[in-house]
Structure 1
Amino acid sequence: MLEPVIVCPPRDSRLAFGTACTRLRALQPDHPRVYAVAAMADQGKRRWWRLADGIREGRIEVMYRRHAAEMSNADIAAEVVATALIHAVIGRVMAMVVAEGRAWDPGLENLWIHTDNDGGIDWAGLSDTTIRVIDGDPLTGEDGVVALPCEPALYVWLAHRCLPALTLVQEAMTRCAGLRVRRFWSLVAESVVGAATYVPALARTSSSEGARRGHTMLAAFEDRGLPVRRTCFDR
């Protein structure tokens, strides 16, 4: 007699990612896209563009010119555009790092940008939604999750993955808007500090742990020779 064949339903490799983004959307229910990102497998392509393609095609320059035409100060317009792009790369993932000690991949080839009707950035997306955790995390071993050996490894990996996207954005903003290199990296620091400061209050997690994780992220950038200002936390 043949044994019955038990067919297990396929596991959704994006379950960990989807659950995490549900929590991130809940941080600001009135503005759920502030910290969360989208899985591009679930999205149409209308008003979406891959960050790497957008930099090559001059989308950042177009975005800057549009903002500069609508604002009285071109320098402020440059900082507005740079801040939005920086938030897409590092600010959003830092919200997850600060709240949970986990991260998605903010690599240049993995990031997508969504623009609203006015041409501003209002969302970001990922091609690969794999979540990185620290070994021993409750998610270790789950589908769609990769465990790194220790906490320092998470920050080293995150800095390594962010750097190409941030560097190309910085070069584009300097080229088209004259944004100073040091000012750009101070905006990166402000994005990290912002997540480390506000997310613990929104998520009701430890503010001291949030500050520590923000410090550690900035230290990982500094170790790569980037002029971020860690003293932002002491202001």
Structure 2
Amino acid sequence: MPEPVTVCPLRDSQLVFERACARLRALQPEHPRVYAVAAMADQGKRRWWRLRDGIREGRIELMYRRHAAEMTNSEIAAEVVATALIHAVVGRAVALLVSEGRAWDPGLENLWIHTDNDGGIDWAGLADTTVRVVEGDGLDGEPGVVALPCEQALYVWLAHRCESSLGLIQQAMARCAGLSARRFWALVGESITGAATYVPALANTSSAVGAGRGQALLLALEERGLPVRRACAVR
């Protein structure tokens, strides 16, 4: 008699995440890594670095120096690096948020970055692939899913987790490239509004709903004192 097949709990808990990422990869089949992220449990560590460790080890400074050496304008180089890092943190998370009303954790200790041969960012990964949804979502109760009580709770949670990563990136960019806090957070706002505009069109979902979700996340970030949309005090 054959032995029973044992289902790996980790893999079972990743099924919702993997299906979401498959849908995000399908948004741009010719560039499948633009919006999707990877489960780090499935990845080797070659060219991967944890965001928290990379900031401490000076990887952001190295990325900036490489770009500045190749470009005539150091300010543009700073914005190119900042934009890539911001997309890794919030642009990818917003893609899932605006198209499905769900979110993964882009927090500092959870997010990993993958670089290409030239040292540029071409992918991101997560150590914990738990997906947050709103109570009543069809995925509520599935393995690897945590339900929050309402949409507002989802936006507040996601803003908090994004800030944990973006805040230290902003400090690193100010230190190594002189990028102002106001310009950095404006780039964050542009990343969110860009994803909220383009992803619903790619996913064939409601543009009005997507825009509303993007605006709700911007408001949640503003309420944390971050100038992502209008002039406000920087803490």
State TM-score, norm by structure 2.
0.94
Does the Cα contact within 8 Å between 1:48 and 1:113 map onto a contact in 2? yes
Shift of 1:229: 1.1
Matched length: 226
- Residue 53 (structure 1) aligned with residue 49 (structure 2): no
SS in 2 for 1:72: coil
> For 1:8 and 1:82, how far apart are their aligned partners in 2?
44
> For 2:38 and 2:7, how far apart are their aligned partners in 1?
24
For residue 67 of structure 2, what is the amino acid of its counterpart? H
> For 2:98 and 2:67, how far apart are their aligned partners in 1?
31
Deviations 1:92-139 (A, max 9, x none): 000000000000001100000000000000000000000000000000
- Following TM superposition, where does structure 1 have runs of at least 4 consecutive aligned residues deviating by more than 6 angstroms? none
For residue 182 of structure 1, what is the amino acid of its counterpart? R
Does the Cα contact within 8 Å between 1:218 and 1:230 map onto a contact in 2? no
- Residue 100 (structure 1) aligned with residue 119 (structure 2): no
- Residue 229 (structure 1) aligned with residue 232 (structure 2): no
Shift of 1:7: 7.8
Shift of 1:9: 4.2
Q: Show the 5 A alignment for 1:37-186.
A: 37-186=37-186
Shift of 1:164: 1.4
> For 1:116 and 1:8, how far apart are their aligned partners in 2?
36
Does the Cα contact within 8 Å between 1:189 and 1:230 map onto a contact in 2? no
Deviations 1:150-196 (A, max 9, x none): 00000000011111110000000001000011000000000000110
Question: Residues 95 and 230 of structure 1: is their aligned pair in 2 closer, same or farther, counting only changes over 3 Å?
Answer: farther
> For 2:210 and 2:71, how far apart are their aligned partners in 1?
34
> For 1:127 and 1:212, how far apart are their aligned partners in 2?
29
Shift of 1:228: 1.0
> For 2:69 and 2:185, how far apart are their aligned partners in 1?
25
Structure 1, unpaired ranges of 5+: 1-5
Structure 2, unpaired ranges of 5+: none
CA RMSD, aligned part only? 1.4
Deviations 1:47-105 (A, max 9, x none): 00000000000000000000000011100000000000000110000000000000000
SS in 2 for 1:226: coil
> For 2:149 and 2:42, how far apart are their aligned partners in 1?
31
Q: Percent sequence identity over matched residues?
A: 76
Shift of 1:8: 7.3
> For 2:7 and 2:50, how far apart are their aligned partners in 1?
32
> For 2:82 and 2:123, how far apart are their aligned partners in 1?
15
Whichever of the two has the greater Rg, that structure is: 1
Shift of 1:230: 6.0
- Residue 211 (structure 1) aligned with residue 216 (structure 2): no
